[in-house]
Structure 1
């Protein structure tokens, strides 16, 4: 039951991020700049900067993890020999 609850939480979080980002990038440019809805969103410059930064962090951690695995694998082979 806990796995299903965690999955539901992740699904709801993903859907809310998707809806927020879609409204921010697609709908907000067509709304007048003095409208009150603009106060709920970051400036448009961040619409590209935040996903690119998240992607760079994700790839960095992935490559770091793979590098650590490769080094440990190499050290394990040297100890056996």
Structure 2
């Protein structure tokens, strides 16, 4: 298995794990009793929206930096 395939597999599994955790935390956990043992594995519900906002802002910043870098590099190649 090539390195690119391994990285792709790791990224896919990580994304799937985060999506599953967040979905369970936000959608299913509010319907579970507060004294159930599963609540100790999750953050309080108040953190769901701020975490989503911070991740979205970080992703937008990262994508903006990548696009800016590509634009600068393509401009250097033309000159």
TM-score (norm 1): 0.74
Number of residue-to-residue matches in the alignment: 72
Shift of 1:58: 2.5
Which ranges in structure 1 are unaligned for 5 or more consecutive residues? none
Q: Which residue of the partner structure matches residue 14 of structure 2? A: 13
Q: Distance in 2 between matches of 1:12 and 1:63?
A: 25
Query: Considering only CA atoms, is the larger Rg found in Structure 1 or Structure 2?
Result: 1
Alignment RMSD: 2.0
**For residues 4-58 of structure 1, what are the alpha-carbon distances to aligned partners after superposition, in whole Å with 9 as ceiling and x for unaligned?**
0110000100110011011001110000011110000001011111010111222
Note the 1:36-55 alignment, pairs <5 A: 36-55=37-56
Note the 1:17-32 alignment, pairs <5 A: 17-32=18-33
TM-score (norm 2): 0.75
Which ranges in structure 2 are unaligned for 5 or more consecutive residues? none
SS at the partner of 1:33? Answer: coil
